[in-house]
Amino acid sequence: MSIKLVQLPIPEVHDLYKEGNIPLAAGYLKSFAIKSGAAEEQEIEVIARDLANYAGDAAILKWVKESKTGIVGFTSYMWNIDRNLYLAQKIKEINPRITVVLGGPEINYGHRALKENHIDAVIIGEGERAFMDFLEDYKAGATIKRVYRADAPVDLTDIPNPYLEKILVPYKNESIFLETMRGCPYQCKYCFYSKSYSGLRFFPEENLSRMFELARDYRVPEIYLMDPSFNVTPGLKERLELLVKCNTTHIPIHTEIRLEGVTPGIAKLMQQAGFKSVEAGLQSVNEKSLAAIGRTWDRNKFVQGAKLLQRHGIDVKTGVILGLPYDQLTDFERTLDFVMDLSLQKSMEIYPFSMIPGTLLRDEAESLDLTYMRHPPYWVLSTKYMGEKDIKAAVEMIEHKLEIEFFPPIIPRFHNILPGYFHFLDLRKKAECQLDVLSRYPERVGHSLTLVIGQDTDMNRLREFGKWLKEANPFTLVQVVIDLESVPRTEDILRISDSLYCPDHYFNHIHHFKIDSQQKYSVRFFHLTANLGAAESYLYQPQYCDLVLRYTSLLLKKGRDILEEKPILRIDSPIGNSELKEIRRIYKGFENLLV
């Protein structure tokens, strides 16, 4: 029996979230299956991190195909469920005898995965016991059930920690994800977590000291305590004192808490234990909105808790939700102002409201007049009190008040990340040869691919390549950079775009509220030029492409007004220290736009 466990990351062009794609769930499944005797260590393989994070679809399918795989299990979240279902279908085409099983937070009763004939089974809720039951049926040759769910939560003392078992090894400069407990006492209606099992359960305390020893050995930059609300823990003072003893080198700790429970003594102990940041869900200051989503808060205690942590050098990342029931635009602005009055705006985390399948609030959506995406990320599109225009106005408000870009800019990549994969292809020379080579080896296409084309590029051949790419690696994000002195013609771009664009891609959906000339994100077009006249036209009228300005020695003298608008700036030849210093001054806070 050969089992492959797969967890795929949030799709993105650059590495904003790759460090967060740690296959902790797969690690738990493997460690528990080995301990329970349902599988041998060599039988279970967790997908290599580089393959998961940087490869395209064809490379993952090749990995499955090249070994005697019997089972493929996918950990499913809203950001990877469509890709998981696509890969599952392709796996069945490669070998119908492979058993495909899906689990993870996205999977629940009634999920569309249950309607797919290329999915053999799903696991709902906590996976360790249910996955073991599935493996026992598989090994015994019994009929595989459509749904596996444990009758009762597993005793957490029976689940070996995958880090301590060396199933997971921290990468350089990567946080460690650590659960000390499971369960949540709160009943937030937009969250599926509390519906799994009631009550709080705890992992063995002796794991803590061993985990901190491991963290010191690997010099990890942070330990992320994944407890859903750390300070609801019974005996909180004693647990913090234990963390003080374990964290002798003050490795930074991050977790989620309720600010209302923070006292002077707790704040002091958190500082001594090494806490450097916390997430605190505020969501809204509108009491009626909070009641509708099953939350409460105490304004005075919230403020007191935030200030206590700030005084002890702990960064408070305040969570705010956009699009809640009963929230009007003025209510949302009051929430932003409340956070800003506490000087917490730099770490504010703002999320569009998601109507997650299986949650209580999704069941109540119609009665609350909430319209929402039927596909991931399930964002609320309008409410009785905020239309879609209001939500877009709220995004503009966020950007203006916080002086940020709510949607991070998409920046083309001009280099390959890993040997063996193409993340960049320069088609200005020998384009036909390069496209032919890549077409023969679809497994060498990366998770994102920047194509640089010029005036002489054969557009018909590029369209053919685009159709092939969309067929072989449909979830690869594509950036097309057009190196041209004049502004490219929109009609020429659209011909290429049609062959590459995947409208149902998650990356398109998470940009829904962005006001933009292209309105396409899974394939993105850029104009690379050193011509100041062409670049200047982007200041005065909307253009289809995003501007990538090539640096020249004249730019600081004659193109400063263009630079002040912060286009993507490509520097592809050496420049003097004084020039570089001035560019860095202009782009302070926007360094990611310097390529």
- The helix (H) or strand (E) run that includes residue 101 is strand 99-103
**Confidence at residue 194, expressed as pLDDT on a 0 to 100 scale:** 56
**Confidence at residue 173, expressed as pLDDT on a 0 to 100 scale:** 87
Q: Write the pLDDT tens digit of every residue in 188-205.
A: 999 876 556 668 899 999
Average pLDDT of 432-445? 92
Phi, psi of 434 (to 5 degrees): -65, -40
Q: Write the pLDDT tens digit of every residue in 341-388.
A: 999 999 999 999 999 998 999 999 999 999 999 999 999 999 999 999
> In this structure, are residues 187 and 202 in contact, taking their beta carbons and an 8 Å threshold?
no
**Confidence at residue 196, expressed as pLDDT on a 0 to 100 scale:** 61
Q: Write the pLDDT tens digit of every residue in 71-109.
A: 999 999 999 999 999 999 999 999 999 999 999 999 999
For residue 185, what pLDDT band results from cuts at 50, 70 and 90? confident
Q: Which SS3 state, helix, strand or coil, does residue 475 take?
A: coil
Q: How many CA atoms lie within 13 A of 248 on its CB side?
A: 9
Which has the higher per-residue pLDDT, 407 or 196? 407
370-376 — which CB contacts under 8 Å span 24+ positions?
A: 370/325, 373/509, 373/512, 375/82, 375/504, 375/509, 376/78, 376/79, 376/81, 376/82, 376/106, 376/506, 376/509
Q: Is the pLDDT of residue 432 over 60?
A: yes
Average pLDDT of 119-124? 97
Check residue 203 and report its DSSP letter.
-
Average pLDDT of 275-279? 97
Q: Write the pLDDT tens digit of every residue in 301-315.
A: 999 999 999 999 999
What is the chain's mean pLDDT, rounded? 94
Token look-up 């689940």 returns 159
Residues 6 or more apart whose CB falls under 8 angstroms from that of 386 comprise 323, 327, 328, 329, 332, 394
Q: Which SS3 state, helix, strand or coil, does residue 76 take?
A: coil
Residues 6 or more apart whose CB falls under 8 angstroms from that of 389 comprise none
Choose among 60, 130, 144: nearest CA to 99.
144
Helix residue ranges per DSSP H, 225-366: 236-246, 264-273, 287-292, 299-311, 329-341, 360-363
Query: Residue 438 has which token pair?
Result: 């890549």
Q: Which domains does the chain have, with CATH numbers?
A: 3-148 (3.40.50.280), 170-402 (3.20.20.70), 422-593 (no CATH)
* pTM for the predicted model, two decimal places: 0.95
> In this structure, are residues 259 and 329 in contact, taking their beta carbons and an 8 Å threshold?
no
Name the amino acid, one letter, at 491.
E
Average pLDDT of 490-507? 92
For residue 431, what pLDDT band results from cuts at 50, 70 and 90? confident
Pairing of strands 181-182, 201-202: antiparallel
**Confidence at residue 542, expressed as pLDDT on a 0 to 100 scale:** 86
> In this structure, are residues 504 and 82 in contact, taking their beta carbons and an 8 Å threshold?
yes
For residue 17, what pLDDT band results from cuts at 50, 70 and 90? confident
Q: How many CA atoms lie within 13 A of 311 on its CB side?
A: 14
For residue 68, what pLDDT band results from cuts at 50, 70 and 90? confident
Percent of the chain with pLDDT over 90: 85
Q: Write the pLDDT tens digit of every residue in 201-218.
A: 999 999 999 999 999 999
**Confidence at residue 8, expressed as pLDDT on a 0 to 100 scale:** 97
Q: Is the pLDDT of residue 114 over 60?
A: yes
